[in-house]
Amino acid sequence: MDYFEYRDGALWAEDKRVTDLMETFGTPLYVYSAKTLRRHYNAFDEALGGLSHLACFSVKANSNISLLRLLGRLGAGVDIVSGGELHRALTAGIDPGKIVFSGVGKQAHEIREALAAGILMFNVESVQELEHIGRIAAALKTQARISIRINPDVDPETHPYISTGLKKNKFGLDMRDAADAYLLARDHPAIDPVGMDCHIGSQLTRIGPFVEALEKLLAFADRLARSGVGIRYLDLGGGLGITYNEEAPPLPADLGRAIAGALAERDLTVILEPGRAIAGNAGILVTRVLYTKKTRAKNFVIVDAAMNDLVRPSLYGAYHRIGEVVPGGRESMMVDVVGPICESSDFLAQDRMLPAMEPGEGLAVFSAGAYGFTMSSQYNSRPRAAEVIVDGERVTLARRRETYQDLVALEM
C-alpha cells in the first residue's frame, strides 16, 4: 500500500497536491512518501517480531540521506556495497553496529573505513577477499567480523540481470568452497566468522525460492557447527518483489512466517536486506509533457524526464505504471512516452494506452522510489532531478536540482 492517490480531481502525495509540488520544485521531480516508507519498514520489522532480527535497508535501492535518516530513526540498519554508501549511512546517523557491507569488489580503503567505523560485519564473496580483509584487520590490530555469502544455486525466477543465486552468477561461493573458506576464517586471528549470507535475486514474487535457500543454509550451518564454526547471524538478503503492474508478490508477513517456521528453536539473529520492497512504491517520478508527435507508425508523448532520470525501462524493459497528474477524462490512445535524450532506447513506456495529452500537463511514473534516482546520470549533460519527501503536509527538499555549474564543477 502507498499514499499516492487521486482525489478532488488530481493526484496527491499524502496531503500535498502533486501539481503544487511541480510548481514549487519543477520537473523532473522525485517525490517520496514518508508515511509509505514507515509503513513498509514496519511491515518487515513486525514480520520478524518473534525472532531476534535486524532489518537492513539496501542503500543501493535509494541512497538519499534524508530517506536513510528517516529509516534509521525507526531502528533500521543498512546493507551497503561501497565506501560511498558507508559514508552516506554514517552521515545519516545509522548505527555502525547495524551496517552490513556486501559486494564482490571491496577495495582496501573501503575495508579500512568500515573497520574504523565498527560495522557489524562484512559479507565476504571470495577467498581472496577473505584473505585481504584478514591482512588489513591484522595490520590495524583489530578483528573483522565476517559472514560468507553462499551461492545456493536456487532459481529465483526473476529477470536474469537481477538473479544472483545461480552457479553462473558472480556472487558468493558454492558450499564446497565456502566450507574451506570458513575453516580458513576460523583459524585466522584477525577474523571472526559470525555469520552466513545469501541473496538469490531481486523482484521475487514467490516465497518458495527463499525457503529452498534457507533450508540449504541451515543444513550447511549444522555442518559448520560440527567443525567448530558457530554461526550467530543468518543474513537472507532481500529481493521481495513489489507490484509494478499486475504482480501479486507475497507480503513481508508471509516471508516472516516461513522464516519463523524454519528457525524454530535455533539461536540465530536473522538479517533481511529489503530495498525495493520498502522504497519502490514509496516514490514517483513526476514529469511534464513537452510535445506530442504523431507519425504514420507511432504516437509519441515527449516529456522532460528521460532515461538518465529513470533507466529501468531502457535497461531491463521494466514496466512502470504511468498516470496523469490531473486526469482530463479524454479518450485514450496508444503512445510511447519518450524523453529528450538522443537515443532510441530513451523511453519510459512503449505501446501504452494513455489519455491524449497536451504540452505542459503532468505525468506521474509510479513505483519509482527504488533504483530510480540512484541509477540516474548526467548523460547528455542533463542536470539530475530534485528529490522531495512529503510527510503529511510537510515537504522536505531532500536533494536540490543540479545546475549547469554542477555539471562542470569537477572539471574546472
Angstrom distance (rounded) from CA 80 to CA 101: 5
For the cut 50, the answer to whether the pLDDT of residue 158 exceeds it is no
Cell numbers of 395, please? 515537504
The Cα 38–Cα 282 span in angstroms is: 9
Mean pLDDT of 232-258: 90
Q: What is the pLDDT of residue 206?
A: 84
**Same domain for 71 and 199?**
yes
State the CB neighbour count (10 A cutoff) for residue 375. 16
The active-site residue, picked from 342, 353, 410, 412, is 342
Last residue of a domain, one of 243, 278, 313: 278
CA nearest 51: which of 276, 262, 277?
262
Both 179 and 316 in a single domain?
A: no
Determine if residue 387 is labeled as part of a ligand binding site: no
Identity at 324, one-letter amino acid code: E
121 and 240 inside one domain: yes
Alpha-carbon distance of 312 to 142, in angstroms, equals 41
163 and 304 within one domain? no
Instruction: Pull the grid cell for residue 84.
Output: 560511498
Residue 239 annotated in ligand binding: yes
Reported confidence tier of residue 156, pLDDT bands at 50, 70, 90: low
Domain count, the chain: 2
Q: What is the pLDDT of residues 11-59, one digit of tens each?
A: 999 999 999 999 999 999 999 999 999 999 999 999 999 899 999 999 9
**Cβ of 385: how many Cβ atoms within 10 Å?**
25
Q: Note whether 21 and 161 are same-domain residues.
A: no
258 beta partners: none
The grid coordinates listed for 337 are: 512516452
- pLDDT confidence tier of residue 167, bands split at 50, 70 and 90: low
The end-to-end CA distance of the chain, in Å, is: 46
The reply to whether 160 and 268 lie within a common domain is yes
Record the cell numbers describing residue 264, joined without a space: 524454530
Gyration radius from the chain CA atoms: 23
> How are beta strands 394-399 and 386-391 bridged, if at all?
antiparallel
Q: Are residues 171 and 142 in the same domain?
A: yes
Check pLDDT > 60 for residue 261.
yes
E strands, 2-109, are 4-7, 10-13, 16-17, 29-33, 53-58, 77-80, 99-101
Q: Please indicate whether residue 198 is annotated as part of the active site.
A: no
> What pLDDT score was predicted for residue 165?
41
Domain check: are 176 and 271 in the same one? yes
| C-alpha closest to that of 356 among 336, 338, 332, 340 | 332
316 marked as part of a ligand binding site:
yes
Strand 10-13 vs strand 4-7: parallel, antiparallel, or unpaired? antiparallel
Task: Judge if 103 and 235 occupy the same domain.
Answer: yes
Distance between CA 40 and CA 8 in Å, rounded?
26
Question: Cα–Cα distance between 270 and 72 in angstroms, integer?
Answer: 18
Report the CATH number at residue 265: 3.20.20.10
Question: Which residue range(s) make up the domain with 356?
Answer: 4-32+280-411
Residues 6+ apart with CB under 8 A from 189: 138, 143
Spatial CA neighbour of 276 closest among 135, 371, 140: 371
Answer yes or no: is 275 a known binding residue: yes
Whether residues 165 and 136 fall in one domain: yes
Whole-number pLDDT of residue 199: 87
Helix or strand run (H / E) with residue 154: none
pLDDT at 265: 82
CATH number (domain holding residue 307): 2.40.37.10
pLDDT of 175 over the 50 cut? yes
pLDDT in tens, 359-375: 999 999 999 999 999 99
Q: Do residues 259 and 339 both lie within one domain?
A: no
Whether the predicted pLDDT of 170 surpasses 80: no
Measured CA to CA in angstroms, residue 90 lies from 95, 143, 173 at distances of: 7, 21, 29
Residue 276 marked as a ligand binder: yes
pLDDT tens-digit profile of 71-88? 999 999 999 999 999 999
Q: Is 404 annotated as a binding residue?
A: no
For residue 169, what pLDDT is reported? 57
Asked if residue 17 belongs to a known ligand binding site, the reply is no
Q: What angle do CA 329, 333, 337 make, to 5 degrees?
A: 100
Q: Which one of 278, 297, 313 terminates a domain?
A: 278
202 and 343, same domain (yes or no):
no
The answer to whether residue 166 scores a pLDDT higher than 80 is: no
Q: Are 307 and 314 in contact (CB under 8 A)?
A: yes
Q: Which residue among 250, 278, 306 closes a domain?
A: 278
Q: Is 14 annotated as a binding residue?
A: no
Alpha carbon of residue 34 to chain centroid: 16
